[in-house]
Chain A
Amino acid sequence: MPAWEELYHEWRLPLLRYVHRLTRDPHLAEDVTHEAFLRLLREQREVRDPRAWLFRVCTNIIRDHARRLATEGRNPVLPESPAPEPPDVTCERAEVVSVVRSALERLTPRDREALLLRESGFRYAEIAEVIGVRKEIVPALIARALRRLQKSYDMEGRDVASA
Chain B
Amino acid sequence: MWHPHDTLLQAHLDGELAPPEMRELTRHLSACETCRRASAELAGLGYGFSEMVGELDRAEPAEWRAAAPFPPSLAVATRTTGLPRRPARVQRLVLEHHAGAERHGYPEGAERPGRARSFAAWRWAAAALLMVTSVAAAAVVGGPLFHGPRSMPAAPAAETPHPVAVLPALRPAGAIAMAAGSGAVEVALTGAAAGSRLHVTIGNGAELTVSVRSDSASPEPARFRTGDALIAVGLPSALSLVEVEIPATTRTARVLVDGRLAVAVRDGIVTPAAAAAEGIALAPAP
Chain A residues in the interface with B (C-beta under 8 A): 1-10, 12-14, 16-18, 20-21, 24, 26, 29, 34, 37-38, 41-44, 46-51, 83, 85-86, 89, 93, 96-97, 100-101, 103-104, 115-116, 118-124, 139-140, 142-144, 146-147, 149-150, 159-163
For B157, the chain A residues whose CB sits under 8 A away are 1, 5-6, 9
- Nearest-neighbour CB distance to chain A for B186, whole angstroms, equals 21
User: Does B184 belong to the interface (CB within 8 Å)?
Assistant: no
> A13 to B66, alpha carbons, bound, how many Å?
10
Bound-state Cα–Cα, A112 to B145, Å: 32
> In whole angstroms, what is the CA distance A44 to B84 when docked?
11
B71 touches A34 (CB 8 A): yes
Assembly CA distance A38 to B86 (angstroms): 19
Beyond contacts A44-B145, A140-B7: 16 other A-B pairs, Cβ-Cβ < 8 A, are: A2-B78, A3-B86, A4-B84, A17-B64, A21-B57, A29-B60, A46-B144, A83-B60, A89-B58, A119-B49, A139-B7, A139-B14, A140-B10, A143-B10, A159-B48, A161-B47
Q: Which of B28-36, B210-218, B251-259 contacts A (4 or more CB under 8 A)?
A: B251-259
How many interface contacts (CB-CB < 8 Å) are there between A and B?
A: 191
Q: Is the CB of A46 within 8 A of B146?
A: yes
| The one of A43, A44, A119 that contacts B53, using a Cβ cutoff of 8 Å | A119
Main secondary structure of the interface of A (DSSP, over half): helix
Residues of A within 8 A of B234 (CB): 10
Interface string of B260-277 (1 = CB under 8 A from A): 110000000000000000
B100 sits at the interface (CB 8 A): no
Kindly list chain B residues whose C-beta atoms are within 8 Å of the C-beta of A83: 59-61
Task: List the interface of chain B (C-beta within 8 A of A).
Answer: 6-11, 14, 16, 41-42, 44-53, 55-61, 64-65, 68, 70-71, 73-74, 77-78, 81, 83-84, 86, 94, 144-150, 152, 154-157, 162, 197, 199, 201, 203, 228, 230, 232, 234, 254, 256, 258-261
Whether A160 contacts B52 in the complex (CB less than 8 A), given A49-B149, A124-B11, comes out as: yes
Nearest CB on B from A7, distance (A) = 8
Residues of A within 8 A of B146 (CB): 3, 43, 46-47, 50
Residue of B nearest to A103 (CB): B52
Residue from B56, B152, B258 within 8 A of A21 (CB atoms): B56
Contact B65 A13 (CB under 8 A): yes
With A121-B199, A160-B48, A163-B48 known to touch, is A17 a contact of B74 (CB < 8 Å)? Answer: no
Asked whether A149 lies within 8 Å of B49 as measured between CB atoms, the reply is yes
CA distance A43 to B144 in the complex (A): 11
Rounded to whole Å, the gap between the CB of B228 and the closest CB of chain A is 8
User: Residue on A with the closest CB to B98?
Assistant: A1
Known contacts A121-B230, A149-B45; decide if A100 and B52 are in contact (CB<8 Å): yes
How far does the Cβ of A30 sit from chain B's closest Cβ, in whole Å? 8
5 A-B pairs in the complex with CB atoms less than 8 angstroms apart: A8-B71, A46-B146, A139-B7, A139-B8, A160-B48
Closest to B260 in A: A17
Shortest B232–chain A CB gap in Å is: 7
Q: Which residues of chain B are near A47, meaning CB under 8 Å? A: 146-147
Pairwise interchain contact A38-B74, C-beta atoms closer than 8 A:
yes
Contacts of A104 in B (CB 8 A): 52, 56
Known interface pairs A42-B81, A144-B6. Does A100 touch B46 (Cβ–Cβ under 8 Å)?
no
